[in-house]
Amino acid sequence: MLDIISQYKKLGISEKVYAFGQQIEEKLCGRFAQIDKTAEYNQLKVIKAMQERRVNEACFHYASGYGYNDQGRDTLEEVYAGVFHTESALVRPQITCGTHALALALSANLRPGDELLSPVGKPYDTLEEVIGIRKSKGSLAEYGVTYRQVELLEDGTFDYDSIKAAINDKTKLVTIQRSKGYQTRPSFSVTQIGELISFVKSIKPEVICMVDNCYGEFVEEIEPSDVGADLVVGSLIKNPGGGLAPIGGYIAGKEELIENCAYRLTSPGLGKEVGASLGVMQAFYQGLFLAPTVVASALKGAVFAANIYETLGYPVIPNGTESRHDIIQAVTFGKPEGVIAFCEGIQAAAPVDSYVTPIPWAMPGYDSDVIMAAGAFVQGSSIELSADGPIKPPYAVYFQGGLTWPHAKLGILMSLEKLVCAGIVTLPQKTE
Q: With 50 as the cut, is the pLDDT of residue 35 above it?
A: yes
> In this structure, are 281 and 401 located in the same domain?
no
> In this structure, are 269 and 335 located in the same domain?
no
> In this structure, are 156 and 193 located in the same domain?
yes
Residues 94, 86: Cα–Cα separation, whole Å: 21
Domain of residue 123, CATH code: 3.40.640.10
> In this structure, are 75 and 22 located in the same domain?
no
Q: With 90 as the cut, is the pLDDT of residue 240 above it?
A: yes
Domain of residue 321, CATH code: 3.90.1150.60
Sign of the dihedral through C-alpha 256, 261, 264, 265: negative
Show the CA angle centred on residue 87, arms to residues 83 and 88, nearest 5°. Answer: 80
Helix (H) or strand (E) holding 321: none
pLDDT category, 431, cuts 50, 70, 90? low
A 10 A CB-CB count for 416 gives: 26
Residues 90, 98: Cα–Cα separation, whole Å: 13
> In this structure, are 255 and 401 located in the same domain?
no
Of 44-53, 200-209, 367-376, the one with minimum mean pLDDT is: 367-376
CA nearest neighbour of 412 among 298, 241, 292, 294: 298
Q: pLDDT tens digit string along 123-137? A: 988 899 999 999 999
- For the segment 426-432, the average pLDDT, to the nearest whole number, is 75
Show the CA angle centred on residue 314, arms to residues 302 and 323, nearest 5°. Answer: 40
Q: Of 288, 319, 337, which residue constitutes the final position of a domain?
A: 288
Residues 161, 68: Cα–Cα separation, whole Å: 49
CA nearest neighbour of 105 among 225, 224, 264: 264
DSSP line for 107-155 = HHH--TT-EEEETTSSPPHHHHHHHTSS--TT-TGGGT-EEEE-PPPTT
Residues 336, 334: Cα–Cα separation, whole Å: 7
pLDDT category, 430, cuts 50, 70, 90? low
Considering the domain boundaries, does residue 145 fall inside one? Answer: yes
CA 140, distance to chain mean position in Å, is 23
- Say which DSSP state 254 is in: -
Residues 138, 133: Cα–Cα separation, whole Å: 12
> In this structure, are 38 and 64 located in the same domain?
no
Q: Of 288, 318, 351, which residue constitutes the final position of a domain?
A: 288
Q: What is the pLDDT of residue 183?
A: 78
> In this structure, are 238 and 360 located in the same domain?
no
Considering the domain boundaries, does residue 431 fall inside one? Answer: no
Considering the domain boundaries, does residue 402 fall inside one? Answer: yes
- Cβ–Cβ < 8 Å for 303, 31: yes
Q: What is the pLDDT of residue 356?
A: 95
Considering the domain boundaries, does residue 432 fall inside one? Answer: no
Instruction: Give the domain extent around 413.
Output: 4-42+292-421
> In this structure, are 248 and 297 located in the same domain?
no
CA nearest neighbour of 285 among 66, 116, 51: 51
> In this structure, are 194 and 252 located in the same domain?
yes
Residues 73, 278: Cα–Cα separation, whole Å: 10
Considering the domain boundaries, does residue 427 fall inside one? Answer: no
- Domain count within the chain: 2
Q: Of 288, 313, 335, which residue constitutes the final position of a domain?
A: 288
- Radius of gyration of the chain from its Cα atoms, rounded to whole angstroms: 22
Contacts of 111 (CB under 8 A, 6+ apart): 145, 172
Considering the domain boundaries, does residue 141 fall inside one? Answer: yes
pLDDT category, 412, cuts 50, 70, 90? very high
pLDDT category, 1, cuts 50, 70, 90? very low
Looking at the DSSP bridge assignments, the partners of residue 91 are: 250
Considering the domain boundaries, does residue 47 fall inside one? Answer: no
Q: What is the pLDDT of residue 281?
A: 98
Contacts of 85 (CB under 8 A, 6+ apart): 223, 225, 226
Q: pLDDT tens digit string along 344-379? A: 999 999 999 999 999 998 877 677 899 999 899 999
Q: What is the pLDDT of residue 432?
A: 55
Considering the domain boundaries, does residue 429 fall inside one? Answer: no
- For the segment 268-281, the average pLDDT, to the nearest whole number, is 96
Contacts of 119 (CB under 8 A, 6+ apart): 149, 150, 158, 159, 163, 166, 174, 176, 196, 200
A 10 A CB-CB count for 430 gives: 8
Contacts of 44 (CB under 8 A, 6+ apart): none
> In this structure, are 138 and 179 located in the same domain?
yes
> In this structure, are 318 and 272 located in the same domain?
no
Q: With 90 as the cut, is the pLDDT of residue 91 above it?
A: yes
- Cβ–Cβ < 8 Å for 322, 396: no
**Three-class SS state of 89:** strand
Residues 142, 147: Cα–Cα separation, whole Å: 12
Residues 286, 378: Cα–Cα separation, whole Å: 15
Show the CA angle centred on residue 344, arms to residues 342 and 414, nearest 5°. Answer: 70
> In this structure, are 274 and 304 located in the same domain?
no
A 10 A CB-CB count for 104 gives: 24
